[in-house]
Structure 1
Amino acid sequence: MTEIHICNPHDYEGWKACKICGAFLPSTGASSIRETPNSAPLGVHPQLLISTYRNSKFTRRYNPSASYLKYRSVLVDWMCHVGEGLNFSALTIQVAVALFDSALAAKDFPTSSLQSLSLVSLFVAAKSEESDNYIPRFRSLIKYSKHPTATLRRMELELLAALKWEVAVITPYQFVQYYIAHGIVYTSDLMRGKHLNEKTVKYVNRYADFFVEMCLQEYELTQYTPENIACACIAAARKAVDIRCVWPLELEELTGKKMQETCFAKVWEIYEKRFLGEKAKEPRSAMIERENARRGMKSATVI
């Protein structure tokens, strides 16, 4: 059973970290509350790592006029289904969709090739992110495609050529997991006037993962950086479980982002449109059931 860990502050080279797990702790005096399986590195301030990312060469390939966008939602759903069927990690699926979008932003592929392109995007992502035991052979992919192996191999080369062989991808999922490892819920947080319990901490983490998956479906969000989307997903997760302050000073210190610098408003707007209200495309209860089923959790309502 997952246990909850409340961090114990310790001075470390001019900043505070938990002396047990190494998680970053804010200057406010509040401690982060984390699920114990998560670990965080000791010795590197989060802002140092994040600034390295910000200063690196990051190419955002965004083309809102791309012809494939009318099919994208169906294709991304299909990629998630196939990825889960092949036991790929959530990160691999996120990377695959990023590669797929980047290739199509760089080059026009015929509509008849889109499904094959999405399949080889999963394959290339798996070779980058999965252990050898989980990288499928090409013959394992045939059942998901109407095309022969030779066609898929050729499509893989076309994908790599479109990407100029740049397959190293940073996704919102990686940022969310990094922040969760340090803790995104604090002892100072209140929900309906009360301090949070361990159940709330777990649900905030689950909702953060859910929002990252939801964002995968929304092409317009790819105009934002992965870091920006990740921060928005964390804020949305905290709002979804009714934590009073959605983006406290503790999260500003951890992420280096103010609320207005994130795309939270857009992410929450999409969430409301899809899951809340009478005009929702999908009932919120259905979302909870689907997410619980994927994680093997019992049905539960947080709010």
Structure 2
Amino acid sequence: MPSWEHSIEVTMQDVSYLSRPFGVTENIDETLGMQTADLFSDMLERQTDYVSPATYSPHASYIPYRRYLVDWMSDVGEQCALHTTTIHVAILFLDKIFRSRDIPRSHWQLLATACLSVAAKYEEAEEHCPPIPDLLKLTKLAAVGHTSLTFREGEVEVLRNLGWKLRAVPPLHVIGYFLAKGATFEDDRWQGKELIDKIPKYIKKYAEFFCNLTLQEYSFQQYLPTHLAAAILLASRVSLQITPRWRPELQLLTGYEEKEILPMFNHVWEYYEEQFPGHGARSISPRSVAANNTFQ
């Protein structure tokens, strides 16, 4: 059980001894005119609609082919200039549908594209949603006989299978909240030295890298998104050699003590070293993380 329930009760007087976030130039609550902690509470409540230990299905029939679907959907999403968060949500849509029923392989491409389209309509501004004719041409669905009408039927099939509940919470959404609140602090140290101005950007690049990396591997869906996001934040700090690795401010922010996220962190780190041998021992640079397309 995360310690968020206890942390949320901490008053400003109780946290007066904590360090200030480093590199946070605006108060996100004031900018948005709302209590963003309420958004995090909503994520905590809704996250199990798509990902939870209870719905983890490692033996679902599509799992051996899932990596190819993830890579393909990522490529299509990037060609459509969709936000990375939209692609992550679309893949959560697909996972939920595919683990609940057997889908004929001849139907996979249509449903995968329909998931992207539905996710875009929910996550993106209207003008950024790819038109159906463009999707049919890009994915070559038109070449196998699909029309705008049959594609819309595919979208309706997606919506029905999702129960019309489209509020999916991938770890990337949670990371966005953590970063906006501040994931590094004024008395942190980077390789034994004071932090430099670029550190928050480096943390963001690492966090997004680990979110993309763990999206590829279905075994990470045995963890709650908020739990995995906290582990990814720890992995990002470890990659940059920021000390201390974890601290009371991060426990307050995420709701997790370091011991609670260590199993997830170890899983993330082991998978990272498996995919990029030797990098974990020497830590790859933020520049190489930004350049690396983990979907390839």
TM-score, with structure 2 as normaliser: 0.82
- Distance in 2 (CA, whole Å) between partners of 1:157 and 1:177 is 30
Identity of aligned residues (%): 33
Count of aligned residue pairs for this structure pair: 270
The answer to whether residue 74 in structure 2 is matched with residue 85 in structure 1 is: no
- Cα deviation, 1:194-235, whole Å, max 9, x if unaligned, reads 121112222112111111111111111111111111111111
Question: Using a 3 Å threshold, how does the CA distance of structure 1 residues 100 and 285 change in structure 2: closer, same or farther?
Answer: same
* 1:145 lines up with 2:134 in the alignment: no
Pairwise CA distance, 1:153:
2.5
Q: Is the 8 A contact 1:31 1:186 kept in 2?
A: yes
More helix, by proportion: 2
Aligned to 1:204: 203
Secondary structure of the 1:198 match is coil
- Give the direction of change, closer, same or farther, for the CA distance of 1:97–1:32 in structure 2 (3 Å limit): same
Gaps of 5+ in 2: 1-9
2:157 is aligned with what amino acid? Answer: E
Deviation at 1:34, TM superposition (A): 2.5
Query: Root-mean-square deviation (CA), in Å?
Result: 2.9
For 2:28, give the aligned amino acid. Answer: A
Q: Classify 1:216/1:205 alpha carbon distance in 2 versus 1 (closer, same or farther; 3 Å).
A: same
2:103 to 98, 109, 115: 109
Residue identity opposite 2:278 in structure 1:
G
Larger strand fraction of residues: 1
User: CA 1:286/1:199 → structure 2, altered by over 3 Å: closer, same or farther?
Assistant: closer
The aligned counterpart of 1:174 is 173
Which aligned pairs between 1:23-38 and structure 2 lie closer than 5 A?
A: 26-34=15-23, 36=25
Q: Does residue 1:44 correspond to 2:35, yes or no? A: yes
- Checking the alignment, whether the CA contact within 8 Å between 2:214 and 2:220 is kept in structure 1 is yes
Equivalent position amino acid for 2:29 in 1 = P
Gaps of 5+ in 1: 1-12, 17-24, 295-303
CA distance in 1, matches of 2:179, 2:220: 21
Structure number with higher relative contact order (C-alpha < 8 Å, ≥ 6 residues apart): 2
Classify the secondary structure of the residue corresponding to 1:15. Answer: coil
CA-CA distance at 1:172 after TM superposition:
0.8
The offset of 1:157, in angstroms, is 2.3
Which position in structure 2 is the counterpart of 1:246?
Answer: 245
Q: CA deviation at 1:14?
A: 3.8
Runs of 4+ in 1 over 6 A off after TM superposition: 284-287
285 and 204 in structure 1: CA distance in 2 versus 1, 3 angstrom threshold: closer
**2:7 alignment counterpart:** none
How far residue 110 of structure 1 moved from its aligned partner, in angstroms, is 1.0
Partners of 1:188 and 1:278 lie apart in 2 by 27
Structure 1 residues 194 and 127, CA gap change in structure 2 (3 angstroms): same
2:52 matches 1:58: no
Deviation track 1:110-146 (CA, whole Å, cap 9, x = no partner) reads 1222122111110000010111111122111112133
Change (3 A) 1:270 1:27: farther
Question: CA–CA distance in 1 between the matches of 2:158 and 2:278?
Answer: 40
